[in-house]
Structure 1
């Protein structure tokens, strides 16, 4: 059995990427993020956290895997910091995205340079030993992610999923799920039985054009209300909007989720926005926050208190 390579974890060459196979892949190249997002009108509070964002590359240092579903333009740490400085974001949770495969160095290296302001969500599989997982936890990872969207590759093997979740419970991790709400009726029993907290990405990627009464969103709201292990990210309005920028048609969905579980809802940008139907201005995403949560006390939960609790930031 293959195991995670400790040398790769510490930043030396990774045998899974030897030869820089990026040159031979047929993965389509996606657009870069908005080049000049506006300074938002809404002022974020101190310690506000972007709980879902990515760093891509640079490919020369953190190569993209040959089997990736898309090729992102480099969006390195320097761009990431500049974006957050403009928005007023002080903390971040960096989610390792599919182009980097199971090589988590792009995230752990950023965390190491953050002076405690960043945490991460890893990509792992059963080739990772318990020692490998412990190294990731020690480096600032607080969970691992599984995707259930066909465009991002085949769905996880659920027997493997169950075994990994059992193992991460010992680390006090959560599991992050890119799981469409349309699948929740089938997955609900499994989710309710999980031994760890779980986070549903991007409001379950529901279709805002179908309204608040659509079956998928009703199922999502019911799960959030029913299971105290269930968290949800009010992220990616550009994915679910049908009205387009500045995505105000999504505000009722975010507000409904926050009203349902104000202590278990998170906000984030999804910068640099891979595979979106329309590239958002990140200033617009910040300016949606008071539409999601008009009450300043609830805004503070969404942006500061909830992320600090789930991702274990030191306050």
Structure 2
């Protein structure tokens, strides 16, 4: 018997955005959930199914050509939902894995051959907090040999405490959802200043201008998140990527993904910057052009 979902699903009526994405635009932070009957849910919350067919329909409406599937905590360290999606994507998908201390070099190579180019660590409190740091450092050393990056999910309040650790990493790293800063706090609070300082001084630091619906303090249409995304894009335009975060688990206000696309020209009005964050940067970070 299927367990009843504990979080709401995405808006099923995706609006066609006014902003036309460039060819090969990449949704560089998105998820596939289930179906639970095939890919069981084991995380701290139970989502409604958001399967591959819905994922493909969404991207067709939005005009997205490539995608990076971040294997979400609801599937634990079973990365098969993303592996299976990549197999049928004709080179349009890459993925970011969830790993634990049991991963072997052979297992890592199998993921690499399957289209994975990074692994994720959750530090956010509602998803379990700080990981085992011995395992963290061991995995960082392992993925470095494959030129992977690590994807890091923090609560904004904790980001300053990890700044020194991040600067000392031997691999590139991405910070999810603009560091989950709070728009009401403004641009001058320590967590956001820390994020910008990392981007300025550390060439390994990449940031995702995703999660406007998480950063917002005002709710839809989430425009109070725009100044944060704009500052990030201006700081290091060669190390910024964008994503929908579909199907938006654990948000206070469920966005329509068409509205999220229409925020892009507000925080990145220059077509040259749009090309970087939507096409060129994700192609480079996720090795899209390799066979």
Give the TM-score normalised by structure 1: 0.90
Q: Which moved more, 1:181-190 or 1:43-52?
A: 181-190
Indicate the structure (1 or 2) with the bigger Cα radius of gyration. Answer: 1
Counterpart pick for 2:139 among 140, 161, 164: 164
In 1, the alpha carbon distance for the partners of 2:275 and 2:156 equals 26
Counterpart pick for 2:185 among 210, 215, 229: 210
Root mean square deviation of aligned Cα: 1.3
In 2, the alpha carbon distance for the partners of 1:106 and 1:28 equals 18
- Quick one: structure 1 residues 293 and 154, their matched pair in 2 at CA, closer, same or farther if it must change by over 3 Å? closer
Specify the SS of the correspondent of 1:171: coil
Runs of 4+ that moved beyond 6 A = none
In 2, the alpha carbon distance for the partners of 1:231 and 1:53 equals 17
Q: Which residue of 1 aligns with 2:283?
A: 308
Which aligned pairs between 1:43-62 and structure 2 lie closer than 5 A?
43-62=20-39
Which aligned pairs between 1:67-78 and structure 2 lie closer than 5 A?
68-78=43-53
In 2, the alpha carbon distance for the partners of 1:197 and 1:161 equals 14
Can you give the 5+ residue segments of structure 1 that lack an aligned partner in the other structure?
A: 1-19
Q: Which residue of 2 aligns with 1:6?
A: none
* Residue 29, structure 1, aligned to residue 3, structure 2: no
In 2, the alpha carbon distance for the partners of 1:184 and 1:211 equals 16
In 1, the alpha carbon distance for the partners of 2:277 and 2:77 equals 30
In 1, the alpha carbon distance for the partners of 2:275 and 2:236 equals 14
Whether the 8 Å contact between 1:104 and 1:122 is mirrored in structure 2 is: yes
Q: Which residue of 1 aligns with 2:105?
A: 130
1:59-80 deviation digits (Å, cap 9, x = unpaired): 1111112xx2100000000000
Counterpart pick for 1:278 among 248, 253, 256: 253
* Residue 179, structure 1, aligned to residue 154, structure 2: yes
Whether the 8 Å contact between 1:28 and 1:69 is mirrored in structure 2 is: no
In 2, the alpha carbon distance for the partners of 1:282 and 1:59 equals 23
CA drift of 1:28 comes to 6.1
Q: Which residue of 2 aligns with 1:233?
A: 208
**Number of equivalent positions:** 290
Specify the SS of the correspondent of 1:142: strand
